Structure 1
């Protein structure tokens, strides 16, 4: 396949899943999961009007409540004085987190206007539906029984679902400080509503950093470490980062549909190779334990995390949940 074809970022029209082009669309999804770990969805079923309202409120909230705080943090840390040396222990971003499931914290976040709270609740409901629909499409592509991934993610209290709302303000030295340092996502499936004008998100493919193009009203999907484990490496989580820009502030609303804290994660038996040496690559663990480990190692390679979980495996009482 020619190089230009290879580096065309996958954009998938989800509305075609319901018609004659279903097979071809499912193949595109599978190819994107296997070879990219990232893809962009158009016609995903979330209304443009809702997305526009979310964007308007998010940008207004940043200007009104977050921008000044960010400038004060920059001055306090001396980041505006960055001269020659690269900064590797901080990110040039202004963020807050919303939790939706198992319980929401949206009413506890200070400074959010009622209209913003309302629209974010609505947006979360739509994203949750899209995430669950997508997990079923992945099951179909992987030859797993319908509902398998949702069931594995469920644990005893249902999945964890939350949103990181970020703004990446203009940065004087983007070569010396990243908007967000390179990492893979720890969780399950990530749904991103990103700025349609200001770029910055990049993924690592074949040792090259490739831009995830801004596209109006798209949802970017990427896969986290848990799906790599469950698919026994057929689908992989991918390193990505955000490059800050010298002009323009980039909005990023990333929603993480993750397993429940006590969900037991392990390669789906249907996807484990018959040869014993291959079947043992990925560990079996409780999701909460993985997250505790990830907290300190987010910006490092994922393989040592998998190794560490493997080493802990014999000590873990996986309980009844392991019979899912």
Structure 2
């Protein structure tokens, strides 16, 4: 008596999608999308050898090129002198860089990356892109949308945007005073995360409680961004998550964002809109991203409201010219 129930974080064995357990596996994905906004994939089809190579190169690159820079940033901002009463809410305890894969890759232009690391990340991106597209089709099936609907919406005129944020969360002397990454929802489409299997820190908000996303070797954590909430008319919701800094161990996090193309028009799928008026706005993805840039760490609802206001202004403008 009195023990708190440990909520079972959804872990999906994707290899079962091609077996007689397909129905149960699809139900698990559906439940995770509707009630968690997150799930963890095992047997997702990306080779363990490739993942091990990505991890090895990422950790070596951090040690060689990023660690000293991070220490200098900490010292320059006085973060090494954190004191008990000064919680920091405008900064994250993370060392990070970005690479783009689609519409065109910029991996060859990123300084400090060894050729082997570039090659491994290019291969990893190809595998992640295939996995993201497979997942979008599984979501279509669960939602009763025609096959390929989500991919088509994401495509815009130039194909999707796809990129990776490579982060390391170094040990933090006062994790109670600064977050590794402040609470937010992701703006984009579907996010595939390869995270450290030894150092934890990722948490999501469920029913007002922070739940740990378990670190598991060779897993890919999937979460849904704001765009899927809009397209599914709120059936699936993007979920607030954060990273807690740890006192020991550096946590590796490689998050790949499969997002709509810049000119993709995002709106609730007609098949998912009932009698009620659309709750969600219609907008161009790039406009949403411009708004999100300044409001990432705030609630998503005002972002949706702002896009709706822009939409009605456009509509009103059109009516007046007739």
User: Deviation at 1:316?
Assistant: 4.4
Distance (whole Å) between structure 1 residues aligned to residue 137 and residue 8 of structure 2:
26
Superposition pairs for residues 1-324 of structure 1, below 5 Å? 4=5, 7-83=7-83, 84-274=85-275, 276=276, 279-316=277-314
Normalising by structure 1, report the TM-score.
Answer: 0.95
What SS does the aligned partner of 1:245 have?
coil
Return closer, same or farther for 1:36/1:3 CA change in 2, 3 Å cut-off: farther
Distance (whole Å) between structure 2 residues aligned to residue 280 and residue 224 of structure 1:
19
Q: Is the 8 A contact 1:186 1:224 kept in 2?
A: yes
Q: Is the 8 A contact 1:285 1:316 kept in 2?
A: no
What SS does the aligned partner of 2:223 have?
strand
Distance (whole Å) between structure 2 residues aligned to residue 81 and residue 73 of structure 1:
13
Bigger mean CA offset, 78-87 vs 119-128: 78-87
User: Deviation at 1:3?
Assistant: 7.1
Normalising by structure 2, report the TM-score.
Answer: 0.96
Distance (whole Å) between structure 1 residues aligned to residue 133 and residue 278 of structure 2:
28
User: Deviation at 1:4?
Assistant: 3.3
Distance (whole Å) between structure 2 residues aligned to residue 80 and residue 315 of structure 1:
48
Q: Is the 8 A contact 1:263 1:286 kept in 2?
A: yes
Distance (whole Å) between structure 2 residues aligned to residue 309 and residue 102 of structure 1:
25
2:320 aligned partner: none
* Uncovered stretches (5+) of structure 2, i.e. residues with no partner: 316-322
User: Deviation at 1:315?
Assistant: 4.0
* 1:46-99 alpha-carbon deviations (Å, 9 max, x no partner): 000000000000000000000000000000000011102100000000000000
Q: Is the 8 A contact 2:268 2:278 kept in 1?
A: no
RMSD over aligned Cα atoms: 1.1
Q: Is the 8 A contact 1:168 1:249 kept in 2?
A: yes
Distance (whole Å) between structure 1 residues aligned to residue 25 and residue 149 of structure 2:
21
- How many pairs does the alignment contain? 312
Distance (whole Å) between structure 1 residues aligned to residue 292 and residue 80 of structure 2:
30
Q: Which runs of 4+ in 1 moved over 2 A?
A: 2-5, 314-317
Distance (whole Å) between structure 2 residues aligned to residue 82 and residue 234 of structure 1:
42
* 1:265-297 alpha-carbon deviations (Å, 9 max, x no partner): 0000000012x3xx3210000000000000000
